[in-house]
Amino acid sequence: MTETKEIRGLKALAKRYARANRIAQHQALDLIAGELGFPHWTKLIAASKNGWQIDTEQMAGVEAFFKRALPATTFRNGDPEAMNRRFAYLEQAEHGMIGDHAYRLQEVFHDVIIAGEGWSIRVPENPGVPPIVETFADQEAECPVFDPEFLQTALSLARDRALQVRAGIATDWPRRSTKPDLSGVVRHPLSGSESDVWFCLHCDEKITGTQIALNLWHCPGCGASPLDIFDTPFWSDDDGKSFRPVKTDGAVDRDEPDFRIVDDRPKPNLNEEKIILLIRCALLDDATNISERLGALRAEISVDDDGVWIALEDDLWPEGKDPVQALAVADRLGLEVELESCWSTIPFAWPGLGEIASNTSEYTQMMLDAYAQCGGSPDPKPKES
């Protein structure tokens, strides 16, 4: 079945969007699918094979939605559903100014985020976790969050909103979830079970009813969400006897935010594969004829903690010829070089032909002619090896 024009259009949109926002294309496809009411792209394709069609209005809507430029830093690692919801939240974001700096204030999954050019502050839903201030390494110097007055204003805006968000959560939950009874029994807001002691699946700690209620059902020890909090430690071998009571200094907003510098500048990330590629490329610089170029392409190169090891085919690389460029590249990368000659089966006989041919096409003809003269077939068709 061929792809419809509409599906092709959606794919093109996803590609552009993925590029603009530096997310993977499959994430962008899933986002589009989400906008059209599918859990992910594969489901959309399956539906389209079964006759589902996007109508013009939907298409226009999706296009309008995805053509808007959105900051992507917080989207990069999100799962599609989370990202979809974030889009919805972004739509509802408030905008304002602190001094000369524009900000956007929004709620994302019960966290509150206030963000501007090069900075963001997240006040997590979990009242036990301090606000997280993020700045970008390349803009560190001029970032307004380093001005204490600015930071306080931004923090209080986010905190006020966080209070509203938490109040909203508590209102949605049963009263017993946020207010323990006289014996400290509380009700899990999601499962509905009741107990005066709770267990965190995440960190294996024991939590009292009062502690967990105060912390809006996030583990005071590790911050795990209400989904990881249970009234029985069903995963424990000893019914939770070994679980230690969680230590908490009272779950209230801590004043000191946690500063993090996000460094999203591109890095060379020089792994073995990339080093080998550079060294081989330099060997090609060093090659002065076809034979040596074949030698460069077939050189064995490996990289370890001690440096680079290069083995050049004796028949394809003149003995005693230093690969000057390759050595220079290794030097720039701070790597020691060990050079060796090796002997193996070379791809074509008469390597000397490669030393006199002026280009690969000429070499190919000379090599085929030589084989023909020996009675070998000059059949140029690729052979199954």
106-136 CB burial, b ≥16 within 10 A, e <16: bbbeebbbbbbebbbbbbbbbbbbebbbbbb
Of 110 and 202, nearer to Zn ion (C-beta) is 202
* Cα–Cα distance measured from residue 229 to residue 337, given in angstroms and rounded to the nearest whole number: 56
User: Which H or E run contains 307?
Assistant: strand 307-313
Of 116 and 221, nearer to Zn ion (C-beta) is 221
Residues forming contacts to Zn ion in the complex (CB under 5 A) are 200, 202-203, 219, 221-222, 224
Of 36 and 222, nearer to Zn ion (C-beta) is 222
Of 99 and 250, nearer to Zn ion (C-beta) is 250
* Cα–Cα distance measured from residue 203 to residue 37, given in angstroms and rounded to the nearest whole number: 36
Q: At what angle do helices 25-35 and 56-67 cross, to 10 degrees?
A: 130
* Cα–Cα distance measured from residue 316 to residue 341, given in angstroms and rounded to the nearest whole number: 10
SS3 296: helix
Of 90 and 203, nearer to Zn ion (C-beta) is 203
Least CB distance from residue 194 to Zn ion, whole Å?
Answer: 20
Longest distance between any two alpha carbons in the chain, whole Å: 103
Of 11 and 202, nearer to Zn ion (C-beta) is 202
Least CB distance from residue 6 to Zn ion, whole Å?
Answer: 47
342 pairs with which residues across the strands?
Answer: 313
* Cα–Cα distance measured from residue 167 to residue 59, given in angstroms and rounded to the nearest whole number: 38
Least CB distance from residue 296 to Zn ion, whole Å?
Answer: 56
Of 102 and 227, nearer to Zn ion (C-beta) is 227
DSSP string, 126-188: STTS--EEEEEGGGGGG-GGGSHHHHHHHHHHHHHHHHHHHHHHHHHS-HHHHS--TT--EE-
Least CB distance from residue 119 to Zn ion, whole Å?
Answer: 30
Do 178 and 251 meet the contact criterion of CB atoms below 8 Å apart? no
Least CB distance from residue 250 to Zn ion, whole Å?
Answer: 17
Least CB distance from residue 199 to Zn ion, whole Å?
Answer: 9
Least CB distance from residue 203 to Zn ion, whole Å?
Answer: 3
Q: Residue 216 phi/psi, 5° resolution?
A: 50, 40
Of 208 and 289, nearer to Zn ion (C-beta) is 208
Least CB distance from residue 15 to Zn ion, whole Å?
Answer: 41
Of 163 and 203, nearer to Zn ion (C-beta) is 203
Do strands 337-342 and 307-313 pair parallel, antiparallel, or not at all (unpaired)? parallel
User: Which H or E run contains 123?
Assistant: strand 119-123
Least CB distance from residue 220 to Zn ion, whole Å?
Answer: 8
